[in-house]
Structure 1
Amino acid sequence: MAITDDRRPVATRDVPYAMRDRLHVPRERYYDREFFELEKEHLWPRVWQMACRAEEIPRPGDFVEYEICDQSILVVRQPDGSVKAFHNACRHRATQLCKGSGRLPGGQIVCPFHGWRWNLDGTNSFVYGADGFAPESLRPDDIRLVECKVEEWGACVWVNMDPGARPLREALAPAADALDAVGAENMRVWWWKETILNANWKTAQEAFHEGYHVMSTHPQLTFGQGEDYPYSNVEYIPLENGHGRFLGRFDPTAGGISQGRGAEAFLSRSQTLWEGQDAMTLERDLHVFRGMRNRVPPGEDFATAAIKALFDYAEGAGIPLRPTPEGMRMWGGEVFLFPNFIVIPQFGNALSYRIRPHNDDPEWCRFEVWSLTMYPEGEEPGRPKLKGRFAADDTENWGLIPRQDFSNIERQQRGLHSRSFRQHRLATEWEPIISNMHVELDRYLAG
C-alpha cells in the first residue's frame, strides 16, 4: 500500500514496489514491466498532460497528434478559436486518422482507409456507402469522434482522457501560480528538439528536480568553486498534487539576483549558459549585459544594474517582461508539473522539458526540449516546428550542458541493474521533489 497523507483519499489497490517512506525509492519502479503496465493503465489515461504548445495550432483546422504509450490523441483548433481533443481512431474500423501535425484540408478530418469524414468538432459529416450499414451502426452520437478533456493554459494545450477529471488549474495547483509569476503565458518557442534516451521517463526527469548535481555534472558552471559550490543556496519545495519547485534563497528586491558577483563573473556565467545550451540566457540578454560593463559606478552591484538594463531594454522593445518579485526568485529555479513537464525560467526565457515513455519500453524515453523566450508584442514567430530528433551525444545540435545531463541519465539507468543496488536514498534537503512525485504516482496507481 502506498504511503498517504491528509490531503488525498487512502489508496485502494496494492502497488508493487510502492513508496514506503520519502527517503527511499525502490529501483524496480524504473524498469519493472508490471509497474510500467500499471502506469499505462492508471496514470496516463487519468492525468492532465501537456499535449502541445498553443502556437503549434494557431489557425482553425490546424492539428497536432499527441502520443502517450499506446494512445494517440488528436488536438484540433476550432473555428471559434477554442480547442478540441479526440481519440485518434476512426469510428468504423479504428484506423489512425491523423499523424504528426499539419492542417486539415477543407476543415474535415478524413479517414485514409474508407474515406469517412468528420467536422472539426468531431461530428460525422460523411459515411461512404452508408446504405450498406444497418441504421443502428450509424447513430450520430455513436459515430462522432470520442472527445478527451482539453484546456489551454501557460501557452500550452493540455489533455486528459478521463471524462471525470477535475479542472486543469485545480489539478496544477499550486505550482501553476509560479509559472504565472514568471509570465509563462507570454513565452514562445525559440527552438525545439528531441532525443531518445536509454532511461526510464522518471529517471530522466528526476535529474532536473535538484541543483545538487551541478558541482559534479556541470563543473564549468561552478567557476572554480568545486566542492565549495553553494548548492545549499536553493530552497526545494514539494507541492500538493505531486508538483514541486525550487528557487534561490534571496530577496530579488534587495539586489539579490546575483549577490557578490562582479561584472566579469556575471558576464562569464551568462556567456557559459548561452554557449552551453542557448536557453534561459540568450545572446540577446548577453548583449544587454555586456553593454553595462563599464557603466556601473564602483561599489554598486553589477548584477542588479544588468537586470535593470534588461528590463529597460524589454520595455523599449515591447517585450512583455513583467515578472512579480516572487517570479524573479524563480529565475534559475524549476517548476515541475506532475507527471512529466518541467519549466526552468530565467530573464523572461525558459528551458522546458517533456519526457514520455518510448516504444512501449520502460527503459527508453522520448525527451523533448524547448528553449522559450518572449518576443516583442505583435512580432511573435509563426508556427514552431520540431528541429529534429538528435542523438544524445550530437555535438552540433546539443550544447555541452544537455549532453552532460543526457550522459548521466543513461548511466544512472544502467546502474539501477547492479546487483549491489536496491533503492535510491534521497536527501531530505535537496531531493524532496523526487519523493513527492513518487508518492503522487502511487496515488494514481493505487486508485
Structure 2
Amino acid sequence: MTAIEGELVSGTGSTADTSGVPFAVQNPLRIPRERYYDRGFFDLENEKLWPRTWQMACRLEEIPHPNDFTEYEIGTDSVLLVRQADMSVKAFHNACRHRATQLEKGVGRLPGGQLVCPFHGWRWNADGSNSFVYGDHGFAPECLRPDELRLRECKVETWGGCAWINMSPDAGPLRESLAPVVDMLDALGWGNWQVKWWKEVILEANWKIAQEAFMEGYHVPQTHPQLAFGLPIEDYPVDATEYHVHPNGHSHFENKVDGGTPSLDGFLMAGRALADGQDAMTLERDLNVLGALRHRLKPGDNVRKAAAEALRAHAEGAGIPWTEGMENSPLFTSGEVFVFPNLFFLPQYMNSLAYRIRPYGNDPERCRFEVWSLTTYPETEVRPRAESLGRFAKDDADNWGLIPLQDFSNIERQQAGVRTRGFDGLRLATEWEAAIGNMHLELDRRLAQD
C-alpha cells in the first residue's frame, strides 16, 4: 500500500482506542509537538513500547563465538545477549537474582563460561542456570529454588544477521512482526551483510525526531546537495521517488520504475559523495567497478542496468555471495527500508547503511544514534569480531563524513524548533512524508494496549 494512494496503515487492520494516549494522533498528517518532549508520553513509551516490541539488539558478528556477550540498553532496561555452545543466542535481563546487581556491562567474553555477580560472587552458566551461591546454607530453601534462581530471559530470534529481542512472553513470531519489509530485505541478501564499521553519537533530540529525518528523501537536494546529481533544488526530480507505507509501522521508498536514470557522470558523482562522505552504500570497491563502464557504455545504454551487470560479474569473480535476482529489486541502486520501531537500512548494491536510534538514558530530548556501514565480503574472508569504533561528538569532522554532519545539525535544530511557542505541530506531505504519520499511528496503537 502506498502513501501516494492516500492511505496509511497501522497494525493488522484493527482499530485501537487511543483515547487514553496523551497527545494521540488524530490526523496522520498533523503530529502534535508534545510527543517529542513530554515526560508523560516518554514514560508511556518506556512502559508499553520498548518492553513489548521486537527490536534489533545486536548484530551476530558482535558475539561470534560461544560465551561471547554484549549488552543492549533500552530505557531503564539492560539485556545481556550471550552466544551459546550450539551457536544459538539467549538474552537475559541483566540483574543478579540475589540483590539485582548488573552482572556484566558492555561487551566481552564470559570467563569459564560463567556470569559472575561482582557483589557477592553468585554465578550462572551461559544458559542462565545458576551454578553457585556463596554461603547457600545461610538461605531459606524457598529463596534458592532452581527455577527462581535461573536468570530471567527475553524472547530471542535471529534474522538478517541480527539477534532480535522481545521482553514480552506473549510476543508473536519475529517474521510476522517484520512483514512485509523482511521479504524486501531478504531479496537484497541482507543476511550476507557484515559490519565494515560502526560508531555512534549522542544527539540532543528525541529519538523520533532523529529517525524521522530518514523516513523521506525529500530533504536531499537542500540538505545534501552533493547527492543531487549536480542539479539545483528547482530541477531535482522530487517525483522520481515512490513512497510506500505498510502494516506494523514499517515503510520504504524507492526509485520509480519510470523515474529515469542519471548519466554515468551523475551516477559516479553521487557514488563518490557516498564513498567519501560516508564510506557506506557505495564503497571504493564499487567505484572501481563502475568507473570501468566509461570504456564500455554505448549511447542509449541504461546506466543502472549496466552497473548491476558489472557488479554481479565482479562479485562472482571475487567469491562474494550474490543473492539471485537482487539486481532486479528497485532498492538495489538506492532507497530506504524502515523497520518499526527504530531501525533503518539504506541498501545499495551489495552494501547498506544502517541506523538504530533509541532514547539515551531517561531524557526525552536525548538519543543514541548508531550508524553501521554494512557490506558483503568474500565467503573465504575471515572477519574479526564486530566492535564499535566508539562514541564521537556530533561535530567531529574527523570521524563523521559530510553527510551525517549535515543531518545531525538539522535534527538538533528541529528539536529546538518543536519547543518554540509559535509552533503547534508537524504538518506532513501526503506524497513524501506519510511514513512518519504511519509510524506514529502504529506507536499509538501499541501505547493504547493494556
TM-score after normalising by structure 1: 0.95
Question: In the alignment, which residue of structure 2 is the partner of 1:146?
Answer: 152
Q: Is the 8 A contact 2:55 2:341 kept in 1?
A: yes
Question: In the alignment, which residue of structure 2 is the partner of 1:304?
Answer: 305
Could you say if the C-alpha distance between residues 370 and 4 of structure 1 is closer, same or farther in structure 2, counting changes exceeding 3 Å? closer
Matches within 5 A, 1:95-134: 95-134=101-140
Q: Separation in 2 of the partners of 1:301 and 1:21?
A: 42
Q: Separation in 2 of the partners of 1:299 and 1:25?
A: 46
In structure 2, which of residues 170, 178, 188 is the aligned counterpart of residue 182 of structure 1? 188
Q: Is the 8 A contact 1:195 1:389 kept in 2?
A: yes
Q: Give the secondary-structure state (helix, strand or coil) at the position aligned to 2:271.
A: helix
1:164 matched to 2:170: yes
* C-alpha distance after superposition, 1:99-155 (max 9, x if no partner): 001100111111111110111110100000000101110000011000000000010
Q: Separation in 1 of the partners of 2:93 and 2:328?
A: 39
Question: In the alignment, which residue of structure 1 is the partner of 2:387?
Answer: 385
* Structure 1, 13-22 or 295-304: larger mean CA deviation: 295-304
Question: In the alignment, which residue of structure 2 is the partner of 1:268?
Answer: 269
Q: Give the secondary-structure state (helix, strand or coil) at the position aligned to 2:46.
A: helix
Could you say if the C-alpha distance between residues 228 and 12 of structure 1 is closer, same or farther in structure 2, counting changes exceeding 3 Å? closer
Matches within 5 A, 1:38-117: 38-117=44-123
Question: In the alignment, which residue of structure 2 is the partner of 1:229?
Answer: 236
Q: Give the secondary-structure state (helix, strand or coil) at the position aligned to 1:226.
A: coil
Matches within 5 A, 1:306-321: 306-321=307-322
After TM superposition, give the deviation of residue 368 of structure 1 in Å. 0.1
* Structure 1, 4-13 or 272-281: larger mean CA deviation: 4-13
Q: Is the 8 A contact 1:279 1:349 kept in 2?
A: yes
Could you say if the C-alpha distance between residues 43 and 178 of structure 1 is closer, same or farther in structure 2, counting changes exceeding 3 Å? same
1:342 matched to 2:344: yes
Letter in 2 for 1:444: R
Q: Separation in 1 of the partners of 2:329 and 2:69?
A: 32
In structure 2, which of residues 201, 226, 229 is the aligned counterpart of residue 220 of structure 1? 226
Could you say if the C-alpha distance between residues 47 and 332 of structure 1 is closer, same or farther in structure 2, counting changes exceeding 3 Å? same
Q: Separation in 2 of the partners of 1:153 and 1:138?
A: 36
1:196 matched to 2:197: no
Letter in 1 for 2:253: F
Aligned pair count? 439
1:441 matched to 2:447: no
Q: Is the 8 A contact 1:87 1:145 kept in 2?
A: yes
Letter in 2 for 1:248: N
Letter in 1 for 2:341: P
1:416 matched to 2:413: no
Q: Separation in 2 of the partners of 1:22 and 1:134?
A: 56
* Structure 1, 335-344 or 379-388: larger mean CA deviation: 379-388
After TM superposition, give the deviation of residue 284 of structure 1 in Å. 0.4
Q: Separation in 1 of the partners of 2:11 and 2:116?
A: 48
* Structure 1, 37-46 or 268-277: larger mean CA deviation: 268-277
After TM superposition, give the deviation of residue 442 of structure 1 in Å. 0.4
Q: Is the 8 A contact 2:207 2:367 kept in 1?
A: yes
In structure 1, stretches of 5+ residues that fail to align are none
Q: Separation in 2 of the partners of 1:260 and 1:328?
A: 12
Matches within 5 A, 1:252-267: 259-267=260-268
Q: Separation in 1 of the partners of 2:271 and 2:18?
A: 50
Question: In the alignment, which residue of structure 1 is the partner of 2:433?
Answer: 431
After TM superposition, give the deviation of residue 301 of structure 1 in Å. 3.2
1:401 matched to 2:406: no
* C-alpha distance after superposition, 1:59-111 (max 9, x if no partner): 11000100001100010011111110010000000000010011001111111
Question: In the alignment, which residue of structure 2 is the partner of 1:283?
Answer: 284
Could you say if the C-alpha distance between residues 300 and 9 of structure 1 is closer, same or farther in structure 2, counting changes exceeding 3 Å? closer
Q: Separation in 1 of the partners of 2:12 and 2:306?
A: 46
TM-score after normalising by structure 2: 0.95
* Structure 1, 376-385 or 30-39: larger mean CA deviation: 376-385
After TM superposition, give the deviation of residue 4 of structure 1 in Å. 7.5
After TM superposition, give the deviation of residue 6 of structure 1 in Å. 7.0
Letter in 2 for 1:126: F
* Structure 1, 406-415 or 219-228: larger mean CA deviation: 219-228
Question: In the alignment, which residue of structure 2 is the partner of 1:292?
Answer: 293
* C-alpha distance after superposition, 1:139-194 (max 9, x if no partner): 00011000000000010000011011001001111111111111100000010010
Q: Is the 8 A contact 2:116 2:124 kept in 1?
A: yes
Q: Is the 8 A contact 2:124 2:131 kept in 1?
A: yes
Could you say if the C-alpha distance between residues 130 and 9 of structure 1 is closer, same or farther in structure 2, counting changes exceeding 3 Å? farther
Q: Is the 8 A contact 2:95 2:103 kept in 1?
A: yes
After TM superposition, give the deviation of residue 9 of structure 1 in Å. 5.0
Q: Separation in 2 of the partners of 1:29 and 1:380?
A: 45
Q: Separation in 1 of the partners of 2:161 and 2:242?
A: 27
Q: Is the 8 A contact 1:182 1:328 kept in 2?
A: no
* C-alpha distance after superposition, 1:323-351 (max 9, x if no partner): 53553435311111110001010011000
Q: Separation in 1 of the partners of 2:116 and 2:147?
A: 18
Letter in 1 for 2:312: F
1:324 matched to 2:326: yes
Letter in 2 for 1:414: A
Q: Is the 8 A contact 1:15 1:445 kept in 2?
A: yes
Could you say if the C-alpha distance between residues 214 and 4 of structure 1 is closer, same or farther in structure 2, counting changes exceeding 3 Å? closer
Q: Separation in 1 of the partners of 2:356 and 2:431?
A: 25
Aligned-residue RMSD, C-alpha = 1.6
Q: Is the 8 A contact 2:194 2:376 kept in 1?
A: yes
Percent identity, aligned pairs only? 61
Question: In the alignment, which residue of structure 1 is the partner of 2:354?
Answer: 352
Q: Separation in 2 of the partners of 1:137 and 1:6?
A: 43
Q: Is the 8 A contact 1:242 1:439 kept in 2?
A: yes
